[in-house]
Amino acid sequence: MLDALNITEEDALGLAELAQHDLALARDFARRALAAAESEEASGLARSYQRAARSYRQSLALKVRLRRELAAADQVQANTPKAKPGGAAVARRIGEVREALLRLAWNEAERPEDERESAEWDEPAAETFAFHRQGVEETIAEDCLKDSFCDEPLDDHVARLAMDVGFPPDAIAGWRDLADPPQAALDFEPEEDAWLSSA
């Protein structure tokens, strides 16, 4: 929080060092003034002592004021509501979360390889994927309205939404290693009666 008051850590250390020098000078002038045999010399040393002592007091007062102002700045920052994420941040996060959840949806929709007609595409898997995709889109649409949408790390965000959708935890943990769904699956639209029969 030192930056809030335009003072660097080096400046703060310098102020502490000045106070130490002021105190050392004040002590030295006081000792010499008390030991002086001539009144004129003692008087001059006493004035030098007073100036050094005043400089020391001012350095201490400045340190106290800075500490108070830093505490006040910290309090203001703590009480200031966090700004809502901007449109670009929200759009970027929607894309990242959608990519992850669609990978999980395709992973869930795929049958074991020996049961598939093709490694790239089969219609039953695409239908299952379409149903999962609908849940993914609904979950993202609801979640992106929250002020906290971009607050958590991406992996935590993906895990939370994936659990809401109902994907298995072991797949969620490895979503980055899963394959993207093929374009044919993304383009696939089930027939209306298929949606109704699944309800």
- Report DSSP state, residue 135: H
**pLDDT 10s digits, 79-89:** 877 767 778 98
Helices within the chain (DSSP H only)? 9-35, 39-79, 87-109, 123-143, 154-165, 169-173, 183-187, 192-198
Measured between alpha carbons, how far is 64 from 181 in angstroms, rounded to an integer?
62
Measured between alpha carbons, how far is 56 from 54 in angstroms, rounded to an integer?
5
Q: What are phi and psi of 146, to 5 degrees?
A: -80, 145
Whether the predicted pLDDT of 119 surpasses 50: no
Q: Where exactly are the structural domains of the chain? A: 2-79, 87-198
User: What is the percent of the chain with per-residue pLDDT over 90, rounded to a whole number?
Assistant: 31
pLDDT of residue 159: 95
- Structure tokens of 27? 């002590």
pLDDT of residue 6: 64
The residue among 40, 51, 45 whose CA lies nearest residue 28 is: 45
Q: 165 vs 95, 100, 101, 135, 198, CA distance in Å?
A: 17, 12, 9, 6, 17
- Given a contact cutoff of 8 angstroms between Cβ atoms, the answer to whether 72 and 92 are in contact is no
Q: How many CA atoms lie within 13 A of 43 on its CB side?
A: 3
**The length of the chain, given as a count of residues:** 199
**pLDDT 10s digits, 164-186:** 999 999 899 999 999 999 888 88
Whether the predicted pLDDT of 193 surpasses 70: no
Measured between alpha carbons, how far is 194 from 199 in angstroms, rounded to an integer?
9
**HEC string of 148-172?**
CCCCCCHHHHHHHHHHHHCCCHHHH
- Report DSSP state, residue 47: H
Whether the predicted pLDDT of 1 surpasses 50: no
